[in-house]
Chain A
């Protein structure tokens, strides 16, 4: 409790602390996500659809042009997980908070400003982890098997989670900079070069020309390589390490943009 000289009321307010601020913001975000299933679940059908369709249409062609034993189903599973977790964030609801003035209400409290964004990202972490699971289950149902077993499956989902969370910084940066829901919805377009200028459909060795050069610089290439290693090859620590590193590097860039945008919005009022 604190009071100021000369004022009549004794306020009950005090700083809640970083951890409590973080959990308060994250719990609200998770509660709203649970109530807002329509914004999450439809996005899951797209990767499941692509997994089935890509395998159905391309498996014979790709496997026919590669050495015997190439498993196109296992090769495609990481692509579907990446599609499932990319762009999943609470940025849309953050824009609504900005427009409704609710973000101002939060900014009027002594809440640690960083937790206003970090709390949303904690909630995103839970959501993207959960979203990766049905894709992996579908993969198992259609015959994909993991060379690294159950532990490899968990690491596989964790790489997807790391990437999903790393990517959230971009929509948050757009949300905080523009306060515009359409701009946030279009943030998914940012993923297109990441998703398609890479080894999504054929192995790296089969890419030629400029696409091969771009794919070498695309972090998703290394992400997919690490995840594919867990499914098709075994514990290739170099590939797995590079996958996590790729997610971390993208996360550094996107989080920098997001927190810079948060600072800008807080300062701008």
Chain B
């Protein structure tokens, strides 16, 4: 299948700050591709480059077969974008915003009216479409933002953190809309998210980004399987973390061993058979174990494995 989006060595600097540090990626047509990473990882900067809002410092990218720097107009005609903050004018009604979008994409009045009617079914805004956007809830703004990105029926849709700040019900509605859009019109979707469950639930493939670099890429299942079939988590006394990590790394049948805070995460191929050697190794090293649990791996475990930190820790580091 051809690539709807491809990037090679994409770099963006802001003065001394390296926001995106050489991103290579390829997104297939009709795919839902997730860009997963904490705040400040470079997700939005990458999206702004792919959507022609920002010029790359180095590297190149093609969207829908067109270069994002040299063929900006061709790219813009084929993409729809919902940026991180709902980019809406509070003093217009929802319908006015959609209509203006349609005009700017060259749609004639009957086509605009038909598209707005279709989109109202998709995003379920109801009568509020004729109210000022200032009166909308956060969830309604997100859904209108999505509708505005779809007015011209784009081939590729970029959604930059489409559910950040939404309550669980609104988040679930946006997920349903994204799935429906992808299923019914084979639209390629590139979404950035800081929510592990969103990437896991929605995306065909995920790229994990940290400090401007892609550290892992694949389907959520592949990525999680790379850690092991199961994960054993040992929470230990803070003074024992180093000793416990060394003891577990010395056990040959265990997979990846990573320490995060007062916990040690161990990736194993079979949790049922591995939990005993883990317990024995910790006991043998005289480690005070507070809790020993087993579960299936998450994308956060993949993030930990590839970056050495939990996503939340990384986010706090970026904010400091």
Contacts and interface: CB of A to CB of B under 8 A. Distances in A.
Contact of A111 (B51, B104, B148): B104
Interface stretch (B86-94, B229-237, B285-293, B310-318): B86-94
B73 interface: yes
A8 interface: yes
A138 to B, nearest CB: 30
18 contacts: A6-B29, A7-B64, A8-B185, A8-B186, A9-B155, A11-B152, A13-B106, A14-B105, A16-B106, A32-B89, A102-B87, A102-B89, A104-B83, A105-B88, A108-B52, A111-B104, A269-B48, A269-B54
Contacts of A36: 91
B73 A15 contact: yes
Interface of B: 1-4, 29-30, 48, 51-55, 64-66, 73, 76-79, 81, 83, 85-92, 96, 100-101, 103-107, 111, 115, 148, 152-156, 185-188
Contacts of B100: 24, 28
Classify chain A: how many residues form its interface, as a range.
35 or more
Contacts of B2: 5-7
Contacts of B66: 4
A7 B87 contact: no
Contact of B111 (A12, A35, A109, A269): A12
B139 to A, nearest CB: 18
Contact of B87 (A12, A31, A105): A105
Contacts of B65: 4-7
Given A16-B105, A20-B103, A105 B155 contact: no
Nearest to B12: A269
B269 to A, nearest CB: 38
The residue in A11, A32, A109 that gathers the most chain B C-beta atoms within 10 A of its C-beta is A109
Contacts of A9: 153-155, 185-187
In this complex, which of B2, B86, B100, B185 has the most chain A Cβ atoms within 10 angstroms of its Cβ? Answer: B100
Contact of A2 (B77, B96, B115): B77
A200 to B, nearest CB: 36
A3 B88 contact: no
A21 B105 CA distance: 9
Nearest to A268: B54
Contacts of B154: 9, 11, 13
Given A8-B30, A8-B188, A11-B78, 18 more contacts: A4-B65, A4-B66, A4-B78, A6-B2, A6-B29, A7-B4, A7-B155, A9-B186, A9-B187, A13-B152, A15-B77, A97-B89, A100-B88, A105-B83, A105-B148, A106-B104, A108-B81, A109-B76
Given A104-B53, A108-B79, A24 B103 contact: yes
B51 A108 contact: yes
Contact of B91 (A6, A35, A269): A35
A81 B101 CA distance: 37
A17 B54 CA distance: 24
Contacts of B115: 12
Given A12-B153, A102-B88, A7 B29 contact: yes
Given A3-B155, A11-B155, A16-B105, A100 B89 contact: yes
Interface of A: 2-17, 20-21, 24, 28, 31-32, 35-36, 97, 100-102, 104-111, 267, 269
Contact of A32 (B88, B92, B148, B152): B92
Contacts of B86: 101
B53 A107 contact: yes
Nearest to A28: B100
Nearest to A17: B106
A104 B53 CA distance: 7
A102 B78 CA distance: 19
Contacts of B107: 12-13
Nearest to B2: A6
A14 B106 contact: yes
Contacts of A110: 73, 76-77, 104-106
Nearest to A106: B104
A105 B148 CA distance: 9
Contacts of B3: 6
Contacts of A104: 53, 83, 87
B200 to A, nearest CB: 24
Nearest to A8: B186
Contacts of A100: 85, 87-90
Contacts of B96: 28, 31
Contact of B153 (A10, A21, A108): A10
B146 to A, nearest CB: 12
A-B complex: 5 closest residue pairs judged by Cβ atoms:
A6-B2, A8-B186, A269-B54, A101-B87, A13-B152
A160 B27 CA distance: 56
